[in-house]
Amino acid sequence: MRASRVNLLNSDLCLFEKSSFISEALILLMAKFFCNFAFLLVAAAVVFIYIQMRLFATQSEYADRLAAAVESENHCTSQMRLLIDQISMQQGRILSLEEEKKRQDTKCEQLMSLVQDLERRGLQRLVDKVPVAAVVIMACNRADYLERTIESVLKYQSSVASRYPLFVSQDGSDASVRSKALSYKMLTYMQHLDYEPVHTERPGELIAYYKIARHYKWALDELFYKHNFSRVIILEDDMEIAPDFFSYFEAAATLLDSDKSIMAVSSWNDNGQKQFVHDPYMLYRSDFFPGLGWMLSRSMWDELSPKWPKAYWDDWMRLKENHGGRQFIRPEVCRTYNFGEHVCYCSLFKCCECPVSSIVTTYKPFISPLLGNKSGSEATHTLLDISRKT
């Protein structure tokens, strides 16, 4: 029994040893398993951390891209709004330009209508700016006469002042004449001071005729060459003019320019007394120079100036060698009136009283019935042909 107990104890001991061995094996196996599991956990943790980092990086990249996309979208939106605003502005400008075009079209139509109106009127306003002729009053020492002449001229010249600039040319230094001329702002004053001694060609001659000739040459040289006028109308300081004086000379200027056989145009008729005249529109050709309110062209003065006489210039104009067969235009009814107290005509050959001539007293535009409805050169030649036969 004891032996069986011993055997049993040995058996139990063996079993115990075996179970201890198994336990140690299990422990070792479990330790190895846990060691491998820990390694796997570490590896899994590393993989997890790596994956998380990649996900974070990817998320960050996507977030940046999304932010860039949002920013780009905002930029595009702002650009689109800007373009919309610009389109709206352009549409507004287009509308305003269309309205401006309509206004311009309207103005263009008005201007075309105005141009056509001007053409229908012969562009009269533009022509009015071009001087027809300068008007010069030759004066010396008669201030009261000069005033009356200036007042008569200004009465009808004011409305056509741009076409007929007015001048007063004084010979000498008479203070009252100078003061009277300078008192008018509507004219230009010129003064001829000639201190050169006068030597007459014949005993007993008046030196006044020599001074007058010098004064005329000086004044015409000034007006044609210094002031550059194409025509000059010469008046004396004891004349009054007719209401149609300027209309008469405007019509006569056409004849003077177009027909080189005309030397000058006068407004005076030596035989213009009432009992001898009837037609205020009739013009005549004459071989005699009437003077007393006459018009000369620059081309004619270019010829006359170099050989201008020392005295008796009006008689000199009547000499055939000077007018060369050319003629002078004069009216049937005078356009000037000589109001001098002693109205006389003095020349180298004679001195005689002049009877008072008739003068036009009402204004009508000067259109000779000889011209009919014709105009230009045709009208001029018709007038001149008839005048030659008269």
Residues serving a catalytic function are 314
Cβ atoms of 139 and 171 closer than 8 Å: yes
Cβ atoms of 232 and 313 closer than 8 Å: no
Half-sphere exposure of residue 218: CA atoms within 13 angstroms, side-chain side = 18
Q: Could you tell me how far CA 73 lies from the centroid of its own chain?
A: 58
Identity of the amino acid at 207: I
Nearest to 132 by CA among 104, 165, 172: 165
Cβ atoms of 239 and 151 closer than 8 Å: no
Taking CA 333 as the corner, what is the angle to CA 331 and CA 336, rounded to the nearest 5 degrees? 90
- Residue carrying the six token digits 């070792």: 28
Q: And the tokens for 381?
A: 């030649």
Nearest to 281 by CA among 199, 347, 372, 168: 372
Distance CA 295, CA 286 (A): 15
* Three state DSSP letters for 104-144: HHHHHHHHHHHHHHHHHCCCHHHHHCCCCCEEEEEECCCHH
Distance CA 171, CA 193 (A): 6
Burial 34-73 (b: 16+ CB within 10 A, else e): eeeeeeeeeeeeeeeeeeeeeeeeeeeeeeeeeeeeeeee
Q: And the tokens for 49?
A: 């951390």
